[in-house]
């Protein structure tokens, strides 16, 4: 285990961040098969740290799992050397576990990072569905159905998109649209699965896969295995 941590320490050096960094990129990076040089990785790592701090200024690295942070950034870049959790780059991230452990914070930070990435290299990533930033809570999606009906749900699945779903399992279920009841997130997950080759989904939830099977059905839970990299967040709440 010593080795990976050493390497993390090297990239964790936040001191020599932003102000000293030169923009070394003359051309946009290739996101299809990028092999960032060390300097590029350092620069991206620093941007990622900034994104985390923009979401939580008091972010404490000692309370976070650095392997998750490194693997998240690796996921964006499809960069194997720092993919310490062995994420499958074609699958989304499924952050589950105890309350108040930073699941939402980290996915929000990823979203912020991707937004910045987009402003830096718009042309390179505009057509990369993995790098989108659409963010909704599961309740928002269910309430959208309740207010507008099923056609409204198309925006959440029927495109080449990256979709962040926060707080899966806390939505009203079933949602009711003028008396027509629907397990909305079951439907969304199933459709996202069908479109999995051209879309990616990230989730935060307190549900385990067993609970997912209970709420959304065995077939959805089974499809989740093919859609997601599962990361458990355990321990006492970090809320103060």
Ligand X SMILES: Nc1ncnc2c1ncn2[C@@H]1O[C@H](COP(=O)(O)OP(=O)(O)OP(=O)(O)O)[C@@H](O)[C@H]1O
Interface residues with ligand X (CB under 6 A)? 56, 58-60, 63-64, 99-105, 167, 204, 206, 233, 238-239
Q: What Rg do the C-alpha atoms of the chain give, in angstroms?
A: 18
- Min dist CB 153 to ligand X, Å, is 23
- Min dist CB 205 to ligand X, Å, is 8
Instruction: Say if CB 183 and CB 173 are below 8 A apart.
Output: yes
Grouping H, G, I as helix, E, B as strand and the rest as coil, residue 179 is coil
155 CB-contact burial (10 Å; exposed 0-12 / middle 13-18 / buried 19+):
middle
**Closest Cα partner for 42 from 63, 66, 61, 18?**
18
Q: Which residue minimizes CB distance to ligand X?
A: 102
Q: Is 104 in the site for Mg ion (CB under 5 A)?
A: yes
| H-state helical runs in 27-90 | 38-55, 66-77
Site for Mg ion in 147-206 (CB under 5 A): 204
Instruction: Say if CB 97 and CB 234 are below 8 A apart.
Output: yes
- Min dist CB 25 to ligand X, Å, is 30
Q: Quick one: what does residue 233 bind among ligand X, Mg ion, none, with the CB cut-off 5 to 8 Å set by partner type?
A: ligand X
Q: Which residue minimizes CB distance to Mg ion?
A: 104
Interaction mask 203-232, Mg ion, x per CB under 5 A? -x----------------------------
Query: Which of residues 20 and 62 has its CB atom nearest to ligand X in the complex?
Result: 62
Query: Which of residues 184 and 238 has its CB atom nearest to ligand X in the complex?
Result: 238
Strands 175-177 and 180-182: antiparallel
Grouping H, G, I as helix, E, B as strand and the rest as coil, residue 110 is helix
Q: Is 98 in the site for Mg ion (CB under 5 A)?
A: no
Given the rule CB under 5 A, which residues bind Mg ion?
104, 204
């Amino acid at each position: 285990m010593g080795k990976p941590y050493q390497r993390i320490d090297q990239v964790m050096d936040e001191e020599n961040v932003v102000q000293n960094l030169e923009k070394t990129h003359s051309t946009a990076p290739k996101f299809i098969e990028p092999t960032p040089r060390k300097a590029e990785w350092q620069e991206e790592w620093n941007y990622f740290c900034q994104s985390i701090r923009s979401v939580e200024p008091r972010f404490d690295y000692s309370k976070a799992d650095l392997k998750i942070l490194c693997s998240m950034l690796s996921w964006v870049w499809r960069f194997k050397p720092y993919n310490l959790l062995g994420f499958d780059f074609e699958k989304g991230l499924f952050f589950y576990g105890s309350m108040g452990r930073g699941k939402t914070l980290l996915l929000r930070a990823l979203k912020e990072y991707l937004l910045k990435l987009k402003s830096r290299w718009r042309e390179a990533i505009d057509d990369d569905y993995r790098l989108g930033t659409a963010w909704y809570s599961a309740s928002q999606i269910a309430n959208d159905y309740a207010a507008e009906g099923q056609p409204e749900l198309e925006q959440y699945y029927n495109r080449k998109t990256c979709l962040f779903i926060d707080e899966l399992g806390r939505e009203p279920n079933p949602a009711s649209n003028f008396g027509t009841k629907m397990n909305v997130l079951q439907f969304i997950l199933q459709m996202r699965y069908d479109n999995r080759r051209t879309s990616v989904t990230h989730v935060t939830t307190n549900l385990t896969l067993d609970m997912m099977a209970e709420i959304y059905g065995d077939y959805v839970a089974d499809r989740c295995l093919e859609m997601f990299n599962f990361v458990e967040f355990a321990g006492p709440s970090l809320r103060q």
